[in-house]
Structure 1
Amino acid sequence: MARLIRNGAIVEDHGPEVLDLEQWLAAKDRGSRAVVLEPGESLAPLIEHIEEIPLVLVNFPTFMDGRGFSYGRELRERGYSGELRAVGHFMRDQLTYLSRCGFNAFQFEDESQLEAALESLADFSEYYQASVDQPLPLFRRRAADN
């Protein structure tokens, strides 16, 4: 059984069956299956079913492909509340940014990196910019405290 980071803890993956976008759209029982998004695929078909998707996996074919960050942000901004998992070739250094875009699960190809990767989620204690996980920039949060 594969291990991954989910909601700040290392866990075994007991997730639903994973289908590619075309298979998922053709399936009759979508609510019990996960969908994997590849770079370049449109999110539009998922939006009308956003409340019934238990898990969305976003594939990063290379660590330099940033389209998955946009998928995560857009899904969260459109109301997706299920598990959003990064899979493929992303780096430990990108975890903070992925989580700021809405990802709450990370599946590394090399599970030996999980312990160190989990620690890297706490690399930063404060953020200046607004994001999915913190909609107000720091200067607005400071102004609200005064």
Structure 2
Amino acid sequence: MKTASRIRLLDAHDHAGDTAASTLILPNDADPLEYAIEIANASRVELQFPSFTDGRAYSQAYLIRRRLGFEGDLRATGEVLVDQLLQMERMGFSSAVLGAEVSMTDARLQLERFPAFYQGDALREAPWREKALD
């Protein structure tokens, strides 16, 4: 069963050409709650992954989506790996910029790997259940 993913995958060229009216770039050590006003006024918030071992942007994304109620584009930048995409999507990222060494095909396949999750996440409350077919 294939399902469309909510996360948009971009390469560096697409990211450079994707201009938003107001973009806020937060370093991964910033407290999003201290930037609540700036986030509320932004159409896109970019969170940085300086290395794959630094996951602070996951926590930032969750806070921005759940506590601050941000509904705009929440974008992952930096060292974005294929095996991080599902977790990024579940934490509220709506787009991710893939590095030149990352295969777009592999990234799309990774997103199709699990059609649903029982646990809640930044986008869905727990328990999540697919609606029964009549």
Query: Smaller-chain TM-score range?
Result: 0.7 to 0.9
Instruction: Answer 1 or 2: which has greater strand percent.
Output: 1
**2:86/2:111 contact within 8 Å kept:** yes
Higher RCO structure, 1 or 2 (CA under 8 Å, sep 6+): 2
Counterparts of 1:47 and 1:129, CA distance in 2:
27
- Any runs of at least 4 consecutive aligned residues in structure 1 with deviations exceeding 3 A, and if so which? 6-11
The verdict on how the C-alpha distance between 1:111 and 1:16 changes in structure 2, with shifts beyond 3 A counting, is: farther
Aligned mate of 1:108, from 98, 105, 124 = 98
* Cα shift at 1:129: 1.4
Larger gyration radius, structure 1 or structure 2: 1
Say what the alpha-carbon RMSD is for the aligned residues: 2.6
Identity of aligned residues (%): 26
Report the CA distance shift for 1:133/1:56 in structure 2 as closer, same or farther (over 3 A).
same
Distance 1:41 1:9 in 2: 24
- Which residue is equivalent to 1:23? none
Following superposition, the deviation at residue 8 of structure 1 comes to 4.1
User: Unpaired runs of 5+ in structure 2?
Assistant: 1-5
2:29 match: 40
CA 1:8 to 1:107, structure 2 compared with 1: closer, same or farther past 3 Å?
A: closer
Instruction: Find 1:85's aligned residue among 66, 75, 79.
Output: 75
CA contact (8 A) 1:33 1:55 kept: yes
CA contact (8 A) 2:22 2:41 kept: no
Per-residue CA distance 1:9-66 (angstroms, 9 max, x = gap): 658333337xxxxxxxxxxxxxx33122222112133212333201111110110111
1:57 to 46, 71, 75: 46
Q: List gaps (5 residues or longer) in structure 1.
A: 1-5, 18-31
CA distance in 2, matches of 1:9, 1:64: 21
Does residue 130 of the first structure (1) align with residue 133 of the second (2)? no
Q: Which moved more, 1:127-136 or 1:68-77?
A: 127-136
TM-score for the superposition, normalised by structure 1: 0.72
d(CA) in 2 for partners of 1:111, 1:15: 20
Count of matched residue positions in the alignment of Structure 1 and Structure 2: 124
